[in-house]
Amino acid sequence: MKPRALKTMLLLLIFIISNALGSSAISLNLTMEAFLDGPAIWLSNGVNAGNLLAFLNVSSSEGFGEDGVWERIGEMWRLVRGKVVAPVMRLATVMCMIMSVMLLLEFVFMSVVSLGVKFLRRKPEMKYKWEALKEDLELGTSAFPMVLVQIPMFNEKEVYKLSIGAACGLTWPRDRIIIQVLDDSTDPIVKAMVELECKAWVSKGMNIKYEVRSNRKGYKADCSCSSTLGIWKMLIWNFPGDFAVNFGECLMTRIQKMSLDYHFKVEQEAGSSTFAFFGFNGTAGVWRISAIDEAGGWKDRTTVEDMDLAVRASLKGWKFLYVGDLKVKSELPSNFKAYRHQQHRWTCGAANLFRKMALDIVRAKDVSIWKKLYVLYSFFFVRKIVSHVVTFFLYCVVIPTSVVVPEVSIPIWVVVHIPTTISLLNAIRNASSIHLMPLWILFENVMSMHRMKATMIGLLEAKSVNEWVVTEKLGDAPKAKPENQILEKPPTRFKERLNFLELEFGVFLLLCASYNVVFGLNYYFIYIYLQAFAFFVMGLGLVGRHTSNS
């Protein structure tokens, strides 16, 4: 096949894949007479694969391998590319450039604050007087504030013992602590096991309450108890238990740890140090009951009820303090589909909360205009919206597509300098994992497809905006067999691991890279091939652990 025919065929394949992925919904009203001397075929349904195939059938008399038909297809593509595709690509490139600069400035701001706090030793907790509580000779243990520990559960067969045991092992006077286990389990065997564990601790003298609900309305947001329980309220959602973080379980958990380390060490610390605010993520938080009550209590309007409460409390003037020196053990999802569901819930919920609270933030009277600007622009718009949109569209759509649209040129500082700087800023706080940075970039780019989709669902309040899938927890399951073999299910079959959206997008990137190798004027194919490989690996379910109930 001649190079011209090969080039046109690759363009046609890319166009077909793009159409299948829904990225070619360009509505035109042209006739084939503009491109060849023959019968008119109206493209009234838009430029898509069906129209092109119809055109090929009409022109097949000239021979599929002849230069004539390929030249005419090439002419049609050049006209559509110049009149429609190129202008859209230029607009997308400009938007991605603007968003990239916004994201870079946000990363620089957070990193400067975080590093400044670390090296100048100006951590916000140093402003406060920290003294260990001591038992008063006259008041006895009543000098200690009443503490409530809440442990929501949902079929937590692998970790329920560890979670309850860790909560009961807290160093605090037993008569000044209440442990509430809210069990929403649907598995009757698991529910019975959790109840028996609670009774066992009651027999040891612990003040532990086992509660169930008739329905899961409100999910965790409906767990709050009466404020008569005391002065303080400790909320440790999905209390992880006294076991080591499983970041070394597989490559996927190690990559997750890199993202979470940056989130806590940089984002949370920067917010706490500048505006005494950060997004509470529901784990290991200590709340005053008065703060919860003044903020309006827990609300189930989004899937990020923890963040919702934090924003409302902050707008009432309450200050948040991040104490990074206190380590709380937790568990990372080691199954890809479980991780994908978790990220959808977090991303969609944050975008939806932004939609619901933007005007409330603007109208808030108890905080300064600078704090409003920080919450609206930095916390919500850049980190929860822009970051997901630009990561997907720039690195997974615009750059790959630009190789077949020579009219569009992307500046080198957008393609190389900005992502390199952001990666280096992340690497500074993840020095022990710097060798995994290339894999982290490719993994995050694949996940950006799901996060971008979740962001749009949240902003538009689409049908699945409140979709809630509980993140699977395995506890010590990878190390030992579960005690109760009745709960075991057959291993996951290969076809159940397949993720077709990732596979389809991988094909699209593979075609773009191949076109760039044969006809391109740059070396984008090196990156695009690597990114396509990442999509294929995740599409084939070759990441994380594979469990039967994911």
- Write out the DSSP string of 157-183: TTTHHHHHHHHHTSSS-GGGEEEEEEE
55 found inside a domain = yes
32 found inside a domain = yes
Q: In whole angstroms, give the CA distance from residue 487 to residue 432.
A: 38
220 found inside a domain = no
22 found inside a domain = yes
25 found inside a domain = yes
140 found inside a domain = no
Give the pLDDT confidence of 256-295 residue by residue, as tens digits.
989 988 998 899 999 999 999 999 887 778 888 889 899 9
Give the pLDDT confidence of 430-468 residue by residue, as tens digits.
888 899 999 999 999 999 999 999 999 999 998 878 876
* DSSP state letters, 384-432: IIIHHHHHHIIIIIIHHHHTT-TT----HIIIIIHHHHHHHHHHHTTGG
From the list 45, 95, 75, 226, the residue with the least C-alpha distance to 148 is 226
Band of residue 242 on the pLDDT scale cut at 50, 70, 90: very low
144 found inside a domain = no
Sign of CA dihedral 493, 497, 501, 504: negative
Q: pLDDT at position 474, please?
A: 59
What is the tally of structural domains in the chain? 1
Give the pLDDT confidence of 225-240 residue by residue, as tens digits.
443 344 344 443 334 3
Radius of gyration of the chain (CA): 28
Q: Name residues whose C-beta falls within 8 Å of residue 460's C-beta, 6 or more positions apart in sequence.
A: none
Annotated catalytic residue 306: yes
* Mean pLDDT score across all residues of the chain: 81
Give the pLDDT confidence of 346-364 residue by residue, as tens digits.
999 999 999 999 999 999 9
| Domain ranges, residue 62 | 3-92
Catalytic-labelled residue, pool 67, 175, 184, 293: 184
46 found inside a domain = yes
Q: In whole angstroms, give the CA distance from residue 268 to residue 320.
A: 10
Residue in the structure block whose two tokens are 């008065």: 290
Residue 212: pLDDT above 80?
yes
Annotated catalytic residue 325: no
Region 147-163: mean pLDDT is 87
Residue 487: pLDDT above 50?
no
Catalytic-labelled residue, pool 222, 293, 306, 476: 306
Give the pLDDT confidence of 476-485 residue by residue, as tens digits.
555 544 443 3
Band of residue 332 on the pLDDT scale cut at 50, 70, 90: confident
SS (H, E, C) 7-73: HHHHHHHHHHHHHHCCCCCCCCCCCHHHCCCCCCCCCCCCCCHHHHHHHHHHCHHHCCCCHHHHHHH
Sign of CA dihedral 409, 414, 417, 420: negative
Q: How far is residue 228 from each of residues 220, 232, 289, 481, measured CA to CA in Å? A: 20, 10, 9, 42
